[in-house]
């Protein structure tokens, strides 16, 4: 999954060199920036699909797919030309294959879970920064009209005596879904209808 791989790459780079965090947290004090950089160089933070099952898996970023729905219904030739396959001449009377599809819109969540309140907020900020900084990468992968948001910070006491904290970054985006379909050849027949005043001739397509 492109989103998972992208965030994993950013966190891995910060684990090696956390210098960019001086810019990300430029509004924080110098001592706090030192603490933040130490946290990201000292921890390997996984990016996984789904949810954590135990406190021992934290900290982590967990990618959760939300509901998806058709955004712009497009029929036939109105579908954007870059996603259509140039049809080849039909072999005999069998027809030929083209790609048909539609735009889908979905919301994905990158859930930042840790056992430290400050680290949760720092991680959420870094994930947000990572999405902004890699927007062109995600666009190239087919994610268009990206909109980023964040949910409320919340404590999660369900693993007591371990006490987890969570804040999600949300990404709402559109992408294309295609399906391979067969176009059958069209034959034309003449239909002539006579009224009192004039004669109408129509060509009716028929498979």
Q: Map out the domains of the chain as residue ranges.
A: 2-183
The two tokens of residue 104 are 């889908």
In whole angstroms, give the CA distance from residue 75 to residue 73: 7
Lowest model confidence (mean pLDDT) among 24-28, 120-124, 173-177: 173-177
Q: What is the pLDDT of residues 100-142, one digit of tens each?
A: 778 889 999 999 999 999 999 999 999 999 999 999 999 898 8
Q: What is the pLDDT of residues 195-207, one digit of tens each?
A: 555 554 444 444 4
Per-residue pLDDT, 157: 87
What pTM was computed for the model? 0.76
Of 77 and 128, which is predicted with more confidence?
128
User: Which of these, 122, 124, 101, 96, lies nearest to 112 by C-alpha position?
Assistant: 124
User: Which of these, 106, 17, 16, 6, lies nearest to 61 by C-alpha position?
Assistant: 6
* Helix/strand/coil for 78: helix
* Radius of gyration in angstroms for the set of CA atoms belonging to the chain, rounded to a whole number: 27
């Amino acid at each position: 999954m492109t989103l998972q791989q992208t965030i994993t790459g950013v966190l891995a780079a910060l684990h090696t060199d956390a210098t960019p965090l001086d810019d990300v947290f430029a509004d924080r004090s110098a001592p706090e920036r030192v603490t933040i950089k130490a946290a990201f160089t000292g921890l390997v933070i996984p990016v996984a699909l789904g949810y954590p099952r135990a406190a021992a898996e934290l900290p982590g970023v967990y990618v959760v797919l939300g509901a998806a729905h058709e955004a712009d219904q497009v029929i036939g030739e109105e579908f954007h030309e870059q996603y259509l396959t140039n049809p080849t001449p039909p072999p005999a009377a069998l027809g030929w294959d083209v790609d048909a599809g539609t735009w889908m819109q979905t919301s994905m969540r990158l859930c930042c879970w840790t056992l430290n309140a400050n680290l949760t907020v720092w991680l959420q900020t870094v994930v947000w920064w990572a999405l902004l900084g890699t927007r062109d990468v995600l666009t190239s992968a087919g994610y268009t009209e990206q909109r980023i948001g964040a949910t409320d910070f919340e404590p999660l006491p369900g693993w007591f005596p371990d006490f987890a904290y969570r804040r999600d970054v949300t990404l709402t985006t559109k992408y294309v879904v295609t399906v391979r379909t067969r176009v059958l050849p069209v034959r034309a027949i003449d239909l002539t209808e006579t009224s009192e005043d004039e004669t109408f001739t129509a060509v009716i397509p028929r498979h």
